[in-house]
Amino acid sequence: MRAGLAGLGIFIGTTTVIWLVAIGEGVSHQAQEQIKELGARNVIVRTKKPTNTSQPQNARINVTSYGLLRADYDRITETIPAIKDAVPMREFLYELRVEDRTIDSKLVGCMEQYLELNHLDMARGRWLHPRDRGNKVIVLAHETAM
């Protein structure tokens, strides 16, 4: 009886270890695939608002200028031949309001290639189109649209 219980314990312990290692490998593989989908070779260039924006005391207009400009984007894409795709974009933290409901969100101004470069899928509706130029249109994330 003792030998049978000892054998059963060894079997269960060995099976559990093998099962946990297999799950760990599967999760690792899945995480690596997700990183590949995001584009492990993607480089994102961001600018941060300077923390110390000292201006002369007699300045009448409080305007802070920082970040990359369209000319910088053009210069980067023209001078680095290894760049396959580039998408200029601008992000703002923004409060969206409709009637009495509000939500803090990130507003992203981007070009058409943003959808493909970030491997995004539309749940419903459509992506922005050149014919939308000049119109006030927006694409909402699923949680924001709810």
Give the residue extent of every domain in the chain. Answer: 1-40, 81-145
Cβ–Cβ under 8 Å, residues 107 and 94: yes
Going from the C-alpha of 34 to that of each of 85, 86, 111, 116, the distances in angstroms are 20, 21, 24, 15
Q: Which pLDDT band holds residue 39 (cuts at 50, 70, 90)? A: low
Cβ–Cβ under 8 Å, residues 66 and 49: yes
Q: What average pLDDT does range 11-17 have in this prediction?
A: 95
Kindly report the average pLDDT of the chain as a whole number: 80
Q: Which pLDDT band holds residue 83 (cuts at 50, 70, 90)? A: confident
Q: Which pLDDT band holds residue 31 (cuts at 50, 70, 90)? A: confident
Q: What average pLDDT does range 134-146 have in this prediction?
A: 76
pLDDT at 89: 83
pTM: 0.48
pLDDT at 9: 94
Pick from 89, 121, 122: nearest CA to 107: 89
pLDDT at 24: 93
CA separation for the pair 41, 101 (Å, rounded) = 39
Q: Which pLDDT band holds residue 54 (cuts at 50, 70, 90)? A: low
